[in-house]
């Protein structure tokens, strides 16, 4: 079983063609739903009393929700705007609401999880949560500029407490204060991460382990409508795949990165979570095969 912890949100997404308000989002939501294509996934998250029933239904149909809390107050809200290229996003608002000072309770049956993903969330909460798991074989975290700007030292502490960091290129630079991605990765490895995966949006990713660098292309797409959650879908697929294989061998990690690229590509083809909600196993396999064909030479 895989446990995912992090934000479940009501997102406002502004793209040049469409504005969506209060749609189901959140880093942990995307990651957990993406991972659920590979393995049974439990989501630990908190929402407020305003969280719509239909959103909860979407989650409960796909995920184990015994660690999901509904608290008095408002759900975490995120508001972001993409520019015309759809590759740069500006954060307009981050309202923590019930996420602030949340003290999650880890269900007993989750404590045996060997694979744990700490999605984008308050780094202090993430660092505390991982201590509750005593059989972890592989843990991974992500972060975003909001936390790097407000709690940089806590982000570094969180990195020390996990095996792998998955982070996008701009955030890696902001966090490490380096400009070269290899230097960024080395710094995060010095802080204690064994694996560093730097996501480069539509351009794919770089995975670092010891002195190995594994670059992977993004799955080339002509029509992108909303990149929200692509990074989270990438990470969820990666750790979901590894959990399904119960392996952290380097060759499986490389395959996991490919699944990450593929699930990220499905996420950007529709608005919000839509790109992930109607996926079949055969869609994933087909695209992985196509990906392999595209990069082979």
Q: Is position 231 an interface residue for ligand AMP (rule: CB under 6 A)?
A: yes
Phi, psi of 82 (to 5 degrees): -90, 145
Q: Is position 94 an interface residue for ligand AMP (rule: CB under 6 A)?
A: yes
Identify which of residues 9 and 193 has a Cβ nearer to ligand AMP in the complex.
9
**Chosen residue from 3, 12, 15, 25 binding ligand AMP by CB under 6 A:** 25
Q: Is position 27 an interface residue for ligand AMP (rule: CB under 6 A)?
A: yes
Cα–Cα nearest to 26, from 1, 52, 7, 5:
7
Site for ligand AMP in 63-92 (CB under 6 A): 78
Q: Is position 144 an interface residue for ligand AMP (rule: CB under 6 A)?
A: yes
The CA distance from 201 to 158, in Å, is: 23
Cα–Cα nearest to 170, from 272, 260, 87, 94:
87
Tokens 């990651």 belong to residue: 31
Q: Is position 9 an interface residue for ligand AMP (rule: CB under 6 A)?
A: yes
CB of 133 to ligand AMP, least distance (A): 20
Identify which of residues 108 and 268 has a Cβ nearer to ligand AMP in the complex.
268
Q: Is position 12 an interface residue for ligand AMP (rule: CB under 6 A)?
A: no
Identify which of residues 42 and 229 has a Cβ nearer to ligand AMP in the complex.
229
DSSP string over 213-271: EEEEPPPP-S-----TTHHHHHHHHHHHHHHHHT---HHHHHHHHHHHHHHHHHHTTSS
In three-state secondary structure terms, 110 is: helix
Q: Is position 205 an interface residue for ligand AMP (rule: CB under 6 A)?
A: no
**Chosen residue from 228, 244, 248, 265 binding ligand AMP by CB under 6 A:** 228
Q: Is position 41 an interface residue for ligand AMP (rule: CB under 6 A)?
A: no
Identify which of residues 115 and 147 has a Cβ nearer to ligand AMP in the complex.
147
Q: In what order do the strands lie in the sheet with 9-14?
A: 19-25, 9-14, 77-82, 89-95
Q: Which range, of 62-70, 125-133, 173-181, 228-236, touches ligand AMP by CB under 6 A?
A: 228-236
Identify which of residues 120 and 244 has a Cβ nearer to ligand AMP in the complex.
120
The DSSP call for residue 7 is -
Give residues with Cβ within 8 angstroms of 132, minimum separation 6.
106, 111
Angle 169-176/152-160 helices, nearest 10 degrees? 100
Identify which of residues 94 and 205 has a Cβ nearer to ligand AMP in the complex.
94
Q: Which range, of 58-66, 144-152, 188-196, 253-261, touches ligand AMP by CB under 6 A?
A: 144-152
- Interface ranges with ligand AMP (CB under 6 A): 7, 9, 11, 25-27, 78, 94, 120-121, 144, 146-147, 228-232
């Amino acid at each position: 079983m895989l446990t995912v912890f992090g934000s479940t949100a009501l997102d406002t997404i502004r793209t040049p063609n469409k504005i969506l308000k209060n749609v189901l989002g959140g880093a942990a939501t995307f990651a957990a739903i993406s991972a659920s294509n590979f393995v049974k996934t439990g989501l630990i998250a908190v929402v407020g009393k305003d969280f719509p029933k239909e959103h909860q239904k979407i989650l409960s149909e796909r995920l184990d929700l015994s660690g999901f809390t509904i608290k008095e107050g408002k759900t975490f809200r995120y508001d972001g705007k993409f520019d015309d290229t759809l590759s740069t996003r500006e954060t307009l608002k981050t309202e923590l609401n019930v996420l602030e000072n949340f003290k999650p309770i880890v269900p007993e049956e989750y404590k045996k999880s060997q694979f744990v993903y700490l999605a984008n969330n308050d780094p202090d909460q993430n660092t505390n949560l991982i201590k509750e798991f005593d059989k972890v074989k592989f843990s991974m975290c992500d972060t975003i500029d909001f936390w790097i700007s407000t709690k940089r030292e806590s982000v570094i502490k969180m990195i020390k407490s996990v095996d792998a960091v998955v982070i996008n290129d701009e955030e890696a630079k902001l966090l490490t204060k380096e400009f070269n991605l290899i230097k960024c990765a080395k710094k995060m490895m010095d802080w204690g991460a064994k694996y560093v995966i730097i996501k480069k949006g539509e351009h794919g990713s770089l995975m670092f382990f010891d002195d190995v660098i594994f670059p992977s292309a993004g799955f080339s797409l002509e029509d992108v409508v909303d990149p929200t959650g692509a990074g989270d879908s990438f990470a969820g697929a990666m750790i979901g795949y590894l959990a399904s294989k119960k392996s952290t061998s380097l060759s499986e990690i490389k395959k996991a990165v490919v699944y990450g690229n593929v699930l990220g590509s499905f996420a950007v083809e529709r608005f919000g979570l839509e790109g992930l909600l109607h996926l079949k196993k055969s869609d994933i396999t087909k695209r992985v095969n196509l990906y392999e064909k595209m990069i082979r030479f």
